[in-house]
Amino acid sequence: MKNSFVISLSTCLIILFNNPVLAHEHGDKGHKKNGKMGHMFDRTDTNQDGRLELSEFLAHAEARFQKMDIDSDGYVTPEESREAGKKMRQKHREMRNKHRQERKQADDQQSTESDSDD
């Protein structure tokens, strides 16, 4: 069982840090705090010392694993992994839509202010 946990935890760690690394390689794309990688780093660096300790990294990975382990049996099945992926993608879609709306409102407000200055 311990080997299964280590394998599952390793898989979770790969999932946890794979996307931010890829996002970082492609540039910030307008994200604050040094892009997605910076945001992920800040959330994981719980003592805010600018460095990740193994305990911080593992605590974050364990929290992610627990979210994926829907039935709390200590294992993440392929079905649970797919469901977690669906939830994560939905959350990201909602965040992107929210940011688009905020940018549109800011652009509309700026455009309205520009028109009133003329």
Model confidence, pTM: 0.53
* Domain residue limits, the chain: 2-81
Q: What is the pLDDT of residues 17-30, one digit of tens each?
A: 554 443 344 444 44
- pLDDT for residue 58 is more than 50: yes
Give 55 or 118, the one with higher predicted confidence.
55
Give 46 or 29, the one with higher predicted confidence.
46
64-89 average pLDDT score: 94
Contact 38, 21 (CB under 8 A): no
